[in-house]
A and B are shown apart, each in its own frame.
Chain A
Amino acid sequence: MIPEIGQILLIVALASSLLQFCIGIGFYQKSITHSGIVYNLSAVHSSALLVAIVCLGYSFLIDDFSVLYIALNSNTNLPNIYKIAAIWGAHEGSLLLWIFLLSLWGVLLSFSRKFNDQTKTLKLRSVAIMGLVSFCFILFILYTSNPFERLFPFPEQGRSLNPLLQDPALAIHPPILYAGYVGLAVPFSLAIASLITINDHQWAGIARVWCITAWLFLTGGIALGSWWAYYELGWGGWWFWDPVENASLMPWLVATALVHSLVVTEKQKLFNGFSVLLAIIAFSLSLLGTFLVRSGVLISVHSFASDPERGMFILALIGVLTGGALILYALRVKKGEKRSLEILSRESLLLLNNVFLCSAAALILIGTLYPLIIELLNAGKISVGPPYFNFVILFPFLPLVFFIGLGVFSTWNSTSRNMMSSIKWVLALSLIAGLVTALIVFDYSSLLTTIGIILAFWTLISGLSPIFRKTFIFRDIIKVLPMSLAHIGLGLTILGVTVTSSYGITFDESLRLGQSTKVGDYVFKLVEVNDSKGPNYDARTATVEISLDGEEIAIIYPEKRIYDKNSPSMTEAGIESNLRRDLFVALGEELGGNSWSLHLQYKPLLRLIWLGPFIMILGGLVRIYLTKPLTRVMS
């Protein structure tokens, strides 16, 4: 009974989102007297989806294996918390969550008070567009991916949830990432609504806060995913350039560009068309990511034939939404006023960097789509993969990072006269800090490493400087704080990435019990290996002692877990970390004669890779929750 209720609620959501679009867009009546109905419809369709998710969750908790999705993704031995997480453990349920979060953004937009009399129509039309996006995806879920489909005859016991997914970080990672993906639907809707209504810069100021919020979720989701991959996948990497990761990085890059472009559009009334285009592209890349991940086109070119319907459907949705948006853009976008740009003014530098960010996204897109591209061109072999990405990403990123620093010191409309004088010191400081780090703290590794470290300090120190540059007025500081934090975070991430990849040590070694080996300055000793039992797995735990200069500093316990006999064992790495370095041990195979293979790593400054995004998020939070209220209170 409960699954049928869920099913009916999906249909209710479908109908109400369609009405939300039709009434809101103004087919029926051009005036906006019906706006209240439209906003309530968005609440109705969101609530219906929420209750549908609750229905699915309830069926999971009572182990209703007559529902196909539950039989495939849960079993009675699963701890309750992971039964909840199993809701988004596979395609159908994660899509349901995706759509619910989308509708939630729609509700927040509907009841937002940030709109005035001039932008009332903009608000109504954008809520209508949100309704259209929702409608498309609810149709998709009902047609091709219904989570409430029944199974008859139903099994006594369900299949296991992928053991990789039984992890707290991964359980909360998809909702956060999805919230970011679908959050980009709001700037998209506002951009489209702007094109069909007033068609000027007014949407930019409103869209900026929404875009920052979505960007926060994306940043958090990507960082969590990378952190999960690091300690759970077992081999100590933190970024693999696989299509799923790329699908989240591309929208992030374009959303970052959008945040900056919206500043220019809002404050200088410039680049309106470019901002609209970025808003369209950012959301389209979210959709494309969904297509690539969900259709299976890339994960294995061959698995696709088994379910062409989903791929077709998502592609059709991309055609309608992105294609429609771009046609509208071509027809409606106004030529911006001709204004000559000073080459070192803030608007030029922001434009330049947005172009670099977009190029980075484009290069990643090309690399991600390469199997399709060679297939179509029949061009023979192209070697793509981490080597390609690690190499090409430098071309947009090196100049990007350099200009980020310059941008901080620039002023609107003109080349700042003080620019050179403030830059001098920052440049000198960055050079000193960078060279000391690259040559003295660590040893010289390569020119690229040295440049990378100097640029990291350049971003970091130039990000810090606005806080210290002015006389200490709190109001001025709170204004520059979000930007400063974001740039400091970026600098830290760059520092972490450069140092870890250049100075990290990684190798495999077989050790007998009681034997030890040296990883950099650290001595790792394999003390013992024991069997133990977890709630739904058998484990084999090693005890590894780490010492530095003869002094014991930590004991860690890398583990291998076997959840069920038919699936491969999971590696729970043993990690000892502080801000300066990570020491990492993964337990490999038993080699006989009391000896074991171990995967050992020493990774300096690895934590900065995740500390950076955390600080960026702080910056965004300050911008959303503190800047406006505080500046208002103080003026």
Chain B
Amino acid sequence: MTKIDMTQILGDFRNDLPVSQEGLTIVFSPTSVPLKQRWRNNGLSADFMADYFSTFFPGDEEHTPETDTQAQVKNAVSFIANELLENAMKFNDETSPQPISIRLQMHSHRLVFLATNSVNPQDAEKFQAFIQELISSDPSELYLRHLEKDVEDNDEGGSGLGLLTMINDYHAKLGWKFDTVETNPDAVAVTTMVQLTV
């Protein structure tokens, strides 16, 4: 069988980010506790990241909630980190011993999220096709199209809704890196990068 080169960068993925001192990484070993039993951990981890990073932003009781940076950052981090973790857990290749990780780091005027999990090569191809659709479409129109597509069909399919919400409602920039895993040539590691301007 010909080996497909899975190394690919799509969307707005920055390889040249300055080394940041301030950051937080949480790592999950996929084999220690079954996915289903740890679902609640996604929200807990996301809320912890949100709480932790919100202390770097000024809170102001006098501001309305719409202009209170601390409240806005906290809520945005919580939503984005939770979505990234849910996707990583959902699409992770269960046969792979590679850990799932999420990292959040701070740069001037932006927060950068990096979520990594492994996928099997077939799923990686499907995901790449979805990303191509995402980056070549109007995200706002694609959002409505996904919802209207089949109202009776409650399967959310590729669950692109979370990614589209990050783009449309949080004005985040998204990018992906697909990489082969050195220790396991059959696995592909996918890293999703989300850049949020604050």
Tell whether A and B belong to one assembly.
no
A interface residue numbers (CB < 8 A to B): none
